[in-house]
Chain A
């Protein structure tokens, strides 16, 4: 599409003598038509991508997490994902979008777009020149929704609903919006494509989404403490089929998450799509094989957990790496996350109920670091010097220093997540109390927090 547009535009430059006033009007019309056609294509893909990313939270994550908890907590766990679709949306409209993408500060945006002022059908050329800014805004909103939803895997089955709401609003303000601005916002200190001092590559949210949520999840798990009876009491997943469907929806939705991050229906989107799929596939196999060797049986939960781990790890790399490095990143993620979830968690004895840290924190960090190794300008030629020359990206391009940049990016993300989450938990604890009481926890959060049950079999 782009090539043919340029072809049309290039013609008058070669034949200036023949351009008459009448012809230049017609050329302008052709130019406008071509622009509108590209905008239509890009916008269509971005709207679909936005819907796909929302689908990852509800029903994707809600089913995935909902199936893994005990029967008495299925609704409360699903609700922790679902309610964010409402809460974060409102916060985003008020100030969130503006704090993440308004202005050009190094750490956080400004209030330029507060209450969605000036966010309409016209594109914002700082981010995506071919789609309405409203599309960009709503697409980014879906990321802001799923990120805190991922954390809920760590405090599932024991956090108060009221505290969880307050936690999420504060967490979005203190951790997510600044991190999104630093990595993706104009002038952000980690934004490689906007002159950031520490140029990091994070295509779709390894640092912004998965490290922040995964590390915050670990902090939550440690702060809240173990579920009553953990690990002596059996806490088997109550419905693996729900989790299976949820994980498969996550896999599909992730195409919107990663390929959509190209912000256009471009060949870069295709490349990210392919890398995403390959990463997930290799990681599913990696986890399965590791488990098969270690436990003697390849489990369904292992397969789907591995796929999610691979999707996490390929997220920062998806718009920068070729298919075979994507397979390799996925394979590493599948094996590493398996070891984290099965070995490290048991060794340290923390109760990250649904392994939000083991999968998102570890997978995200691994993916962010490996992006520094495998990122190549053959895939993404977006980084140019002042003269317009395409710059090398990662170690495979001969720029080994990028791994260090990525590590600093990870470190900033870890520190922000740890400090921010601790402060927020303390605030929630002092005002509302973060954990349900013992009776409520034994009764189950469905009844104690929401007054209903997931399964009413005698009805």
Chain B
């Protein structure tokens, strides 16, 4: 099993969800987060007082998938989340040791 953690632009969330649904991936967890990579953020001015906003709103999307599908999922998420501009986000992939379905004790990929 692999865990995919994608940090994407909030306005791309719907497209990514639709694309994943299209390839049969249903389960996911979404968190609203703030952060930045190479993207510089922007400047705001309130009554002459300047504020540099460098932690920008992003959406973190987490899902655990069978190992054999992860290339396909990566391609799908990348394609759907890409606007081509700086700030599009990143995807990280982890190995997952175990999964348990709380309702009935299913283990491993059957629990996904």
Which A positions have Cβ atoms within 8 angstroms of B? 231, 234-237, 295, 297, 299, 301-302, 305, 341-343, 345-346, 355
Contact = CB atoms under 8 A, between A and B. Distances in A.
Nearest to B45: A295
B49 A231 contact: yes
B48 A342 contact: yes
B46 A299 contact: yes
Query: Which secondary structure dominates chain B's binding surface?
Result: strand
B45 A346 contact: no
24 contacts: A234-B51, A235-B49, A236-B44, A236-B46, A236-B51, A237-B46, A295-B45, A295-B48, A297-B45, A299-B45, A299-B46, A301-B46, A301-B47, A302-B47, A305-B47, A341-B47, A341-B48, A342-B47, A342-B48, A343-B48, A345-B48, A346-B48, A346-B49, A355-B47
Nearest to A342: B48
Contacts of A235: 49
Chain A CB within 10 Å, residue with most, of B44, B46, B48, B51: B48
B76 to A, nearest CB: 32
Given A299-B46, A305-B47, A342-B48, 16 more contacts: A231-B49, A234-B51, A235-B49, A236-B44, A236-B46, A236-B51, A295-B45, A295-B48, A301-B46, A302-B47, A341-B47, A341-B48, A342-B47, A345-B48, A346-B48, A346-B49
A247 to B, nearest CB: 13
Interface of B: 44-49, 51
Nearest to A355: B47
Nearest to A345: B48
Contacts of A346: 48-49
Contacts of B46: 236-237, 299, 301
A236 B44 CA distance: 9
A256 B16 CA distance: 54
A305 B48 CA distance: 12
A130 to B, nearest CB: 43
Contacts of A237: 46
A295 to B, nearest CB: 5
Contacts of B44: 236
A327 to B, nearest CB: 24
A295 B43 CA distance: 11
Contacts of B48: 295, 341-343, 345-346
Contacts of B49: 231, 235, 346
A116 B49 CA distance: 47
A346 B48 CA distance: 9
Nearest to B49: A231
A251 to B, nearest CB: 18
Nearest to A302: B47
Contacts of A302: 47
A236 B51 CA distance: 8
Nearest to A231: B49
Nearest to B50: A295
Contacts of B45: 295, 297, 299
A343 B49 CA distance: 10
A77 to B, nearest CB: 16
A231 B48 CA distance: 12
A231 B50 CA distance: 10
A302 B48 CA distance: 9
A235 B48 CA distance: 12
A346 B47 CA distance: 11
A70 to B, nearest CB: 12
A262 B48 CA distance: 37
Nearest to A230: B49
A64 to B, nearest CB: 13
Contacts of B51: 234, 236
A301 B44 CA distance: 12
A310 to B, nearest CB: 16
A297 B44 CA distance: 10
Nearest to B44: A236
